[in-house]
Amino acid sequence: MDELEWLADRFEESRGHLRAVAYRMLGSTAEADDAVQECWLRLSRSHKRDITNLQGWLTTVVGRVCLDMLRQRRSRREDSLEELVPAVATFYEDEDSPEEHALLADSVGLALLVVLESLDPAERLAFVLHDLFGVPFDEVAPIVERTPAAARQLASRARRRVRGEAPAADSDTTQRREIVEAFLAAARDGDLDGLVAVLDPDAVGRSNGLQVARGALAVARGAATFAPFAQAAQLALINGSPGVLAQQADGGSRAMTFEISGGKILEVDVISDLEQLRHLELARLD
């Protein structure tokens, strides 16, 4: 048996595992198969027969392929959840083996895919690899281009979102108010440095709950574009926590809510959707 045939046999032994990882990452059987095929192409070109842990190497490669695909998907903004969900309904109608069905069935469902689709690609990969497949954070870290500690934090954030839990928030209302005031003042002045100073390095910016920015600088740049909103804004208690509220030129309202932990803003959500605004509990913050 030559080297390529040997690699092909070893790859087939891991195909079910790789497809399971890719499907949980991408939510589409077709894209999962594309990712697995790309993984094989990279293996066949590298002739990595001397790898001690071939499945671990393959998992790393398919993870990176999926991460690239998710980032491309986000940049194109072409795929919607509605386009991805039907793949679940037909997933078990293919001709895979019962063993592969069992492997892929674990933790796959509409509810999980809906939540995973809302995650940042790096969060999604860290959560899938560690929580669903037991890959150590030391191995996850280089795939998501973070330190092991940062990879652990990514997975923790994803885990909270999957469970429907809010991040552990700072309980000191006075400190939270000061941070929101600093954010609002910097936004009014278009002060990027001031905005970055109060944001967590991995801060997330959302619009009506949908992620639109990741990273302190990206969120700060987005906040700077809301200068007219910031000029007319005032502090308010939103769902019992310091936030920002303003009237828009068209007579409508816009709110900003914040998730704060460790003295830094983790998430900023700009809410303009009327239905979402109706469900907010608002009070003056003197």
My answer on whether 88 and 146 are in the same domain is yes
CB under 8 A, 24+ apart: contacts of 227-232 = 227/187, 227/188, 227/190, 229/254, 230/184, 230/187, 230/188, 231/188
My answer on whether 143 and 34 are in the same domain is yes
> Per-residue pLDDT for 188 more than 50?
yes
Within-domain flag for 196: yes
d(CA 144, CA 63): 9
In which order are the strands placed within the sheet that holds 199-207? 210-214, 199-207, 264-271, 253-261, 241-247, 233-238, 282-284
For residues 172 and 35, the model is more confident at: 35
Which of residues 163, 186, 203 is at a domain's end? Answer: 163
Which of residues 113, 137, 163 is at a domain's end? Answer: 163
SS3 state at 261: strand
> Per-residue pLDDT for 246 more than 70?
yes
Using the structure block, give the residue that is written with the tokens 């109706």: 278
Using the structure block, give the residue that is written with the tokens 């980032």: 71
My answer on whether 27 and 133 are in the same domain is yes
Q: Give the pLDDT confidence of 34-59 residue by residue, as tens digits.
A: 999 999 988 888 766 667 778 888 88
My answer on whether 8 and 150 are in the same domain is yes
Using CA atoms of 170, 121, 161, 225 in order, give the dihedral in degrees to the nearest 10: 50
Strands of the chain (E only): list them. Answer: 199-207, 210-214, 233-238, 241-247, 253-261, 264-271, 282-284
> Per-residue pLDDT for 28 more than 50?
yes
Amino acid at 176: R
pLDDT computed for residue 265 by the predictor: 92
Using CA atoms of 124, 126, 130, 133 in order, give the dihedral in degrees to the nearest 10: 50
Using CA atoms of 226, 230, 235, 236 in order, give the dihedral in degrees to the nearest 10: -50
Backbone angles phi, psi at 134, to 5 degrees: 70, 25
d(CA 107, CA 277): 33
My answer on whether 36 and 136 are in the same domain is yes
My answer on whether 245 and 202 are in the same domain is yes
Q: Give the pLDDT confidence of 114-134 residue by residue, as tens digits.
A: 566 667 788 888 888 888 788
My answer on whether 180 and 279 are in the same domain is yes
Range of the domain at 155: 3-163
Amino acid at 80: S
Which has the closest alpha carbon to 30: 41, 43, 19, 21? 19
pLDDT computed for residue 198 by the predictor: 95
Q: Give the pLDDT confidence of 203-242 residue by residue, as tens digits.
A: 888 887 777 888 899 999 988 777 777 777 889 888 778 8
CATH code: domain of residue 67: 1.20.140.160
pLDDT computed for residue 150 by the predictor: 78
My answer on whether 22 and 148 are in the same domain is yes
Encoding tokens for residue 223?
Answer: 């906040």
pLDDT computed for residue 164 by the predictor: 66
For residues 20 and 102, the model is more confident at: 20
My answer on whether 134 and 186 are in the same domain is no
Q: Give the pLDDT confidence of 175-187 residue by residue, as tens digits.
A: 889 999 999 999 8
pLDDT computed for residue 75 by the predictor: 58
Within-domain flag for 49: yes
Work out the pLDDT band at 165, boundaries 50, 70, 90. low
d(CA 231, CA 270): 15
> Residue 60's beta-bridge partner residues?
none
Q: Give the pLDDT confidence of 259-283 residue by residue, as tens digits.
A: 888 889 988 888 888 877 877 778 7
Which of residues 163, 189, 209 is at a domain's end? Answer: 163
CATH code: domain of residue 194: 3.10.450.50
- Give the chain's domain count: 2
Q: Strand pairing of 264-271 and 199-207?
A: parallel
pLDDT computed for residue 248 by the predictor: 66
Within-domain flag for 96: yes
Q: What is the mean pLDDT of the chain?
A: 76
- Rounded to 10°, the helix 54-76/3-26 angle is 40
My answer on whether 85 and 108 are in the same domain is yes
Within-domain flag for 168: no
Within-domain flag for 40: yes
Mean pLDDT of 149-155: 81
Which has the closest alpha carbon to 25: 60, 70, 57? 70
My answer on whether 247 and 128 are in the same domain is no
CA distance readout (Å), 211 to 43, 65, 99, 178, 207: 34, 22, 36, 25, 6
For residues 93 and 135, the model is more confident at: 135
Within-domain flag for 274: yes
d(CA 87, CA 30): 8
My answer on whether 158 and 227 are in the same domain is no
Amino acid at 115: V
Q: Phi-psi category of 31—alpha, beta or left, where left has phi over 0 and alpha has psi -120 to 50?
A: alpha
For residues 252 and 190, the model is more confident at: 190
